[in-house]
Amino acid sequence: MSATADASLFDKVVNLAKRRGFVFPSAEIYGGFRSTYDYGPLGVLMLRNVKDAWWRAMVQERDDVVGLDAAILSPPAVWEASGHLANFTDPLVDCRECHERFRLDKLDDPDVCPSCGAKGSFTEARQFNLMFRTHAGPVEGAGHEVYLRPETAQGMFLNFKNVLETSRKKPPFGIAQVGKSFRNEITPGNFVFRTREFEQMEMEFFVPPGEADQWYEYWCRERHEWYLRYGINPELLRLRPHDADELSHYSSGTSDVEFLFPWGWDELEGIANRGDFDLTQHAKHSGERLEYFDQTSGAHYVPHVIEPAAGATRTMMAFLMAAYAEDEVNGEARTVLRLHHRLAPYQIAVLPLSKKDTLTPVAREVFTRLTPHFMCDYDETQAIGRRYRRQDEVGTPFCITVDFESLEDRAVTIRERDSMAQERVQIDDLLPLFRERLA
């Protein structure tokens, strides 16, 4: 049986995200700022974990990919060469009846306004460039224009030569980057799915031209598996190759990793076989040779590029939706985020059974022993059952309860989030045990 989208999940996850400090509407005390969000105490932890999990798979666990952190501000020449100034546009239409704006290519029916239902009320489509433009220094105008990057990818192409010369890598090799990108989206929405300011995780993999197809297939598989490894149910995930009419002119193949969001299948990541388009364009516009000299063949060539491009903020939302569950414990409803332990904001919560001073030193000792290794919460307020529920709701995989017996036997109770199984463990054994279970 194939999975179906659950429409009620959207509100549940958005409410939980706000209530528990994952994601807040930005500038809320001033009435909010449309489709802009801040990541709260738990959201910042989880977003970091998503980015770390990507970095671990793409950089740390490999010897053929290196990292980069390039500038966000960039001169028009970059975007002239990349084609963004001319082509990074969406078709914009206005409804003459209700004056709402839409992206023509995202409308279910290009003749009917989804906001007021009017038929044939749209203006002619205008191409709208999505880049944010500003100026550097005190003077505005020509010669001072700069752009906020709409993708992180160009930083990798601009530094291709620098990395090649300093890293001793040779094709096939990649450059990876995680960071903010900005797009003046016509219709941001669906919570953090589409925002004007967001974070991307992108990698450009430079390969000998003859190996491009095989590396494209390789990265499609790798990236699909990454989401599964971090706990997304295979029924909620698919790899969708683009039809020929969806491909950009330079791409010989693109596939999207798609997630079944409450509104249907939608993109988490695109993997594209970009040919030599990017390096050739920048070589032409900058006058630099952006090639690799192959000593074995004695020839220069322009590497082809395979690009897996994912969104960190969008992916965090997908992980939240995939993890959200409601079950029943002793006749009481429980909300639980079944997050992979590497993605959960806290890995461990230390909970002294009562607020009595006698328990505090031992509970604090446990907390201090574990915090250098894991992100831990410490919570001593309210009944223990309610504290367990609170941790379940934010996805904490393990709770440790310190009780009065702990003072005698130097042992504590560990409770696992999903099975709720409890076991008694010596304080001295906690670190090796968690090192194994939270690896």
Expressed in percent and rounded to 5, the helix, strand and coil fractions of the chain are 35, 30, 35
CB 90 to ligand ATP: min, Å:
8
Give whichever of 58 and 412 is closer to ligand ATP, judged by the CB atom: 58
Binding region for ligand ATP (CB under 6 A) out of 167-175, 303-311, 324-332, 365-373: 303-311
**Which residue stretch of 22-30, 65-73, 265-273, 412-420 sits at the interface with ligand ATP (rule: CB under 6 A)?**
265-273
Q: Based on CB atoms, which residue is closest to ligand ATP, 311 or 352?
A: 311
- Binding mask 206-245 vs ligand ATP (x if CB under 6 A, - otherwise)? ----------------------------------------
195 belongs to the binding site for ligand ATP (CB under 6 A): yes
Which part of the chain contacts ligand ATP (CB under 6 A), choosing from 53-61, 222-230, 263-271, 399-407? 263-271
Which spans in 311-359 are helix H?
A: 312-323
Q: Report the residue from 200, 251, 255, 391 that binds ligand ATP according to the rule CB under 6 A.
A: 200
Site stretch for ligand ATP (CB under 6 A), options 69-77, 210-218, 305-313, 363-371: 305-313
DSSP 95-132: BTTT--EEEGGG-SSTTB-TTT--BS-BPPPEEEE---
Options 75-83, 266-274, 337-345, 407-415: segment touching ligand ATP (CB under 6 A): 266-274
Q: Any idea what DSSP says for residue 60?
A: I
Closer CB to ligand ATP, 283 or 312, in the complex: 312
**Total number of residues shown for the chain:** 439
Angle between helices 360-370 and 430-437 (to 10 degrees): 50
Residue 341 within binding range of ligand ATP, rule CB under 6 A: no
Preceding amide of 172 cis, omega within 30: yes
Which of residues 42 and 268 has its CB atom nearest to ligand ATP in the complex? 268
- Short-list 119, 129, 76, 72, CA closest to 96: 119
CB 416 within 8 A of CB 398: yes
Alpha helices by DSSP H, 168-288: 212-229, 277-286
* Paired tokens of 433: 């045990």
User: Nearest residue to ligand ATP, using CB?
Assistant: 311
Min dist CB 424 to ligand ATP, Å, is: 44
Instruction: For residue 391, state whether it binds ligand ATP (rule: CB under 6 A).
Output: no
Tokens 């920048």 appear where?
A: 282
310 contacts ligand ATP (rule: CB under 6 A): yes
Task: Choose, by CB under 6 A, the member of 270, 303, 352, 397 that binds ligand ATP.
Answer: 270
Which of 149, 282, 304, 314 is in the footprint of ligand ATP by CB under 6 A?
314
Contacts 24+ apart (CB under 8 A), 221-224: 222/57, 222/308, 223/257, 223/269, 223/271, 223/308, 223/310, 224/257
- Residues in CB range of 246: below 8 A, 6 or more apart: 254
Contact indicator for 379, 363 with CB cutoff of 8 Å: no
Of residues 167-186, those binding ligand ATP (CB under 6 A)? 183, 185
- 10 forms part of the interface with ligand ATP (CB under 6 A): no
Binding site for ligand ATP (CB under 6 A): 151, 183, 185, 194-195, 198, 200, 267-270, 309-311, 313-314
